[in-house]
Amino acid sequence: MKLLPSKLRLPKKVLILLAGVIVLTGASGAVAVFVGRDAILGPPEERISGVACTTVLTVRQNRDGQEWLRRYIRAKADDGDMRIKTALRVAGALSNQEKADLYQVVLLDEAGPASRADMRGRAIGAEVLFSREPGKIAGLTAPFQASYAEGAAAENGEFYGERKALKLDEIKGIVTAMADRTDCLDPAAAGEDATASHGEAAAEEPAAEAAHGGGEAEPEEHAAAAH
């Protein structure tokens, strides 16, 4: 004896109701396979604003009457796109918290160097320069300059991928799309002050020996990134 007919036809209204129940009770994952999860829920926040990070050191220096603020951060991001978005987010957060003529964010891998003198060259996974008045900064022709190393970091935290500089329109597009503007976690915030004064920074290395020779990147080195 057949308990159900071989062809069960349900009213259209019932089918619509069942479809709604399925979606609301956990079938959104299956739907996303066909439609695309980003199309339904939007892209994950980290795809827009970068990943979580930790502040390593913040250095404030006075250069010819200008305040330069440099922040070194660490993040675990195997994707160059995520690294530059993280650095841009932190640059924005830093500029909202501190007053300076030039802001610089240097992103290092979690396995990167611990010594400030080694935080240069291949140790840099992404770098951002920002100034509200770029005309006052030698070598800076636009408000933003941003570059990153493609590919994941090596075991020692160094990046050997090709260096890519973003165009200004690309930078503006990334910054405009960001909803998350949070800064990095700062372990020193509750304890010692991680900000080095100009006197401390000057004692470590003369301003004229910065750049690659002295261990720190200068705006003049990255002028092409804004074009």
Sort strands 195-196 and 54-63 into parallel, antiparallel or unpaired: parallel
pLDDT 10s digits, 45-104: 668 999 999 999 999 999 989 999 999 999 999 999 999 999 999 999 999 999 999 999
Predicted local confidence at residue 47, as pLDDT: 81
The encoded tokens of residue 11 equal 């009213």
Share of the chain above pLDDT 90, in %: 59
pLDDT 10s digits, 190-214: 555 444 443 344 333 333 333 333 3
pLDDT 10s digits, 114-139: 999 999 999 999 999 999 999 999 99
The burial class, CB within 10 Å (0-12 / 13-18 / 19+), for 151 is: middle
Q: What pTM does this model have? A: 0.69
| Residue for token pair 């935290």 | 157
Contact 122, 108 (CB under 8 A): no
The encoded tokens of residue 218 equal 């200068």
> Treating both helix axes as pointing N-terminal to C-terminal, what angle do 80-97 and 168-177 enclose, rounded to 10 degrees?
70
Provide mean pLDDT across the span 146-174.
96
Beta-bridged to residue 195, according to DSSP, are 58
Contact 103, 87 (CB under 8 A): no
First to last CA, the chain: 78
Please tell me whether residue 54 adopts helix, strand or coil conformation: strand
